[in-house]
Chains A and B, each alone.
Chain A
Amino acid sequence: SAVISQKPSRDICQRGTSLTIQCQVDSQVTMMFWYRQQPGQSLTLIATANQGSEATYESGFVIDKFPISRPNLTFSTLTVSNMSPEDSSIYLCSVERRTGSRYNEQFFGPGTRLTVL
């Protein structure tokens, strides 16, 4: 398995400000992922964070809004920039590990619950 921690666990922010979320993994991983879980919506992949290269963003998500850093193989940050109430959501990081002969399992952190006023 993988032990993943996130900081902060929750925050309430004002419109127009930015928040940086940290994700720490207990051992080195190649890829880390950032998801968004909006109320009543599916868990949606924002981007993949690779160490030593720029993050890869999914359709509908842009670097200016969600800049990501990946300084080493156990740590990543996601910044939610110029926030609006529509950014209120749970943000989760995850990592992928081989757990079966033909399967890579994804493990999720506990999430950061963000409320934007």
Chain B
Amino acid sequence: QKEVEQDPGPLSVPEGAIVSLNCTYSNSAFQYFMWYRQYSRKGPELLMYTYSSGNKEDGRFTAQVDKSSKYISLFIRDSQPSDSATYLCAMSESYNQGGKLIFGQGTELSVKP
């Protein structure tokens, strides 16, 4: 079993739709949960991070963490064609990661105009 599982998609939605991206994990020691966005031919860039359980909102993006279920989600409201990218969840046990980020496979999202 992989430490982090993520549905690879691809996921195709019409512009304006609400998108839900999810990851499950097995390591209960994970405390920091990140979502990265990766455009084609580019490196991943951090969208949001959350510490422990709870919700965090940033504009059209909302990250949710449910540690009891070992389940995290990223919601994108009013999706735009510019949101088309691969979304990677990542997790670590401490803030001083020392590179120890564990990634999901990534979900490829396409938002159609």
Contact = CB atoms under 8 A, between A and B. Distances in A.
A108 B2 CA distance: 23
Contacts of B99: 31, 33, 45, 48, 94, 96, 106
A31 B96 CA distance: 11
Contact of A4 (B43, B88, B100): B43
Contacts of A106: 46, 97, 99, 101
Contacts of A111: 41-43
Contacts of B87: none
Of the four ranges (under 10, 10 to 19, 20 to 34, 35 or more), the interface on chain B belongs to: 20 to 34
Nearest to B46: A105
Contact of A42 (B4, B42, B49, B51): B4
A42 B2 contact: yes
A39 B51 CA distance: 29
Nearest to B49: A103
A92 B43 contact: yes
Given A43-B88, A43-B103, A96-B97, A102 B51 contact: yes
Given A42-B2, A42-B105, A110-B41, A104 B95 contact: yes
Contacts of A110: 41-43
Given A92-B43, A109-B43, A111-B43, A103 B32 contact: yes
Interface residues of A, number: 24
Contacts of B44: 43, 92, 108
23 contacts: A33-B99, A41-B105, A42-B4, A42-B102, A42-B103, A43-B88, A44-B103, A48-B98, A48-B99, A92-B43, A96-B97, A96-B98, A96-B99, A102-B95, A103-B49, A104-B97, A106-B99, A107-B46, A108-B44, A108-B45, A110-B42, A110-B43, A111-B42
Given A42-B105, A96-B97, A110-B43, 9 more contacts: A31-B98, A42-B102, A43-B90, A44-B103, A48-B98, A48-B99, A92-B43, A106-B101, A108-B44
